[in-house]
A and B are shown apart, each in its own frame.
Chain A
């Protein structure tokens, strides 16, 4: 009977981790629905980017207020998790504060955790104030209603509660308080509970301890359903992020093959298509992207990494001037559609059943796509190397090359280029006339 708490703890832990792993597998499966793309180059630069941008938060602090608050929460999150390790061991072995045997260092560590917990708590309150009282514009754009808005606040409440539980747990731990080492903050909370019997204090301490660890497991599993996956995916996402100059858009290889064939004088244009070379050199089913499966897996990883901070949208010239385009919405739509496709696959025994929907039109409209100036402000603004522009471009490619659905003026521009080598209707033979004007 005395092992009951240990067994209960182990069961909760296994269930929490098991469910999380199940969702991670689903996440990986969904990301792999994307086209394959070779990102095996420049490993050292990629590790460096991950170290600087994700681990070092270098792009977060470009906006100093939210940046510094975020660094506090981030450091708190990582360091306070050392405490979780102790909780796990205590829970499984039935010990109490097993690391306290390391001596005075323990007090220093817990003391630091307590200070961080308060800093995290204050930062999270400030985040909440920025979102709900000051109502910063980027948190109140049209895509930030209902679930995305609530999701953001739930995460903040979660963090407030977890930090509170950690401090209450320490404050009501009679033995820990009596040692008077490491209770940097909790010594000031302990008096709030004065007058309670040791039994009641123990009950509160145990309660806080259990809710704290269960809360962490719930939070871990909440990640997959929320915008908060960035705490994990920021690392791979910055590793796989674009290394080329931002202005360099990829050249479609399938098009290169066709163009080279058209330009090659040695190829007989009337020759029957070769049938033997199936598999390689195959023309892809479509040019550009109309649905999530047409995007690359890095673009899909981007969509899961987005935490909807809206820095991209607040820098977007189209959005700033009232157009419908919002790079954040491009990422949210991509993820939502990918989730929909994933659920469809789950419901149909592992194969996707045509649902009459796609990313284009059902999620992202042409009006949004055509409003982009390809200025790269969104790409520059993203603190975790997400590239919304690449998705916009791939969808434009589908519109133009598969549907011939470009705006009329752009069709005129392209006809001009085709006919006279300039976007305007001037004769190529007049190209040097300026010299004599």
Chain B
């Protein structure tokens, strides 16, 4: 499989004196987390399939600084931001797509003031565009008629008002999209945001991811769809905590579309 993946870097494009159509910002989770790497690969397969000329920064990419900023370390955030912006601007990057809503939010909203202004898209928005332009087709395949619920990532939904692109993609799979009692702007957090991913939760009577997973399980879905690597981890852990991993799968929307076509 892996030899089929075409993943050129910005450096390679530059060496040929070319500019890619879009930069794929992989993000730390997408680069290092075993579960998230599968999402990265699924998305790359779709980009390859749609003949999108994209590039990654590879070893020149670094954390956007999102978890540092939200933890209160503005210094570290801005150091990361300024360094990344220098790299992006040196490559004259105009358009960025990422499968991580945290990277998406940070680059789109918080980088411009620091000198980095780009057209930033979440991968579900980008896939939706490819679909609309006829460059990508979506088939239901194995997901036809399956019961799928979508968990809104806070940093995609409430933070940036993107609610419909992921849902439209799920519907293209001819799946049965069911909504949790808290969805769209009322979506309940998975518990990972604000740097919580990297620490234990404060004392309480429940974990946030379990609460959210329970909301999803109420619908008896076959798949919980996610659009964020961190939500994916939290929901997967939640499903395990409820011992439902044999009935319910947690999958990124890119994975759903890629798997539907047996990519």
Contact = CB atoms under 8 A, between A and B. Distances in A.
Interface in A373-422: 373-377, 379-380, 393, 395-401, 406-407, 409-410, 412-414, 417-418, 421-422
B78 A255 contact: yes
B76 A414 contact: yes
Interface residues of B, number: 73
Q: Among A418, A423, A433, which residue has the most Cβ atoms of chain B within 10 A?
A: A423
Contacts, number: 222
Given A251-B78, A252-B74, A423-B63, A377 B189 contact: yes
A318 B202 contact: yes
Contact of A428 (B40, B62, B185): B62
B202 A325 contact: yes
A323 interface: yes
A426 B158 CA distance: 31
Interface in B173-224: 185-186, 188-189, 191-208, 210-212
Contacts of A372: 194
B137 interface: no
A437 B2 contact: yes
Q: Among A255, A412, A426, A435, which residue has the most Cβ atoms of chain B within 10 A?
A: A435
Interface stretch (A179-187, A258-266, A294-302): A258-266
Nearest to B31: A431
Q: Among A399, A413, A426, A431, which residue has the most Cβ atoms of chain B within 10 A?
A: A431
Interface stretch (A45-53, A193-201, A216-224, A240-248): A240-248
A361 interface: no
A104 interface: no
Given A245-B160, A321-B204, A432-B56, A370 B199 contact: yes
A193 to B, nearest CB: 50
Contact of B68 (A244, A260, A407, A414): A414
A367 interface: yes
B167 interface: no
A340 B75 CA distance: 32
Given A260-B82, A431-B58, A397 B72 contact: yes
A287 to B, nearest CB: 7
A397 B74 contact: yes
Interface string B1-15: 010010101000000
A101 B116 CA distance: 68
Given A245-B109, A431-B61, A432-B9, A317 B208 contact: yes
A435 B7 contact: yes
Interface string A227-271: 000000000000000001111110110011011101100000000
Contact of A393 (B31, B72, B105, B202): B72
Interface in B56-85: 56, 58-59, 61-63, 65, 67-76, 78-80, 82-83
B158 A417 contact: no
Given A321-B211, A323-B204, A426-B32, A245 B161 contact: yes
Contacts of B26: 431, 434
B113 interface: yes
B198 A409 contact: yes
Given A249-B69, A432-B58, A318 B204 contact: yes
A131 interface: no
Contacts of A287: 74
Contact of A322 (B33, B155, B205): B205
A371 interface: yes
A422 B32 CA distance: 9
A410 B211 contact: no
Contact of A407 (B28, B113, B158, B199): B199
Interface of B: 2, 5, 7, 9, 26, 28, 30-33, 37, 40-41, 56, 58-59, 61-63, 65, 67-76, 78-80, 82-83, 86, 105, 108-110, 113-114, 154-155, 158-161, 185-186, 188-189, 191-208, 210-212
16 contacts: A247-B159, A248-B110, A248-B159, A251-B74, A251-B78, A255-B75, A318-B202, A375-B194, A376-B154, A377-B186, A393-B72, A397-B72, A401-B72, A422-B28, A431-B26, A433-B31
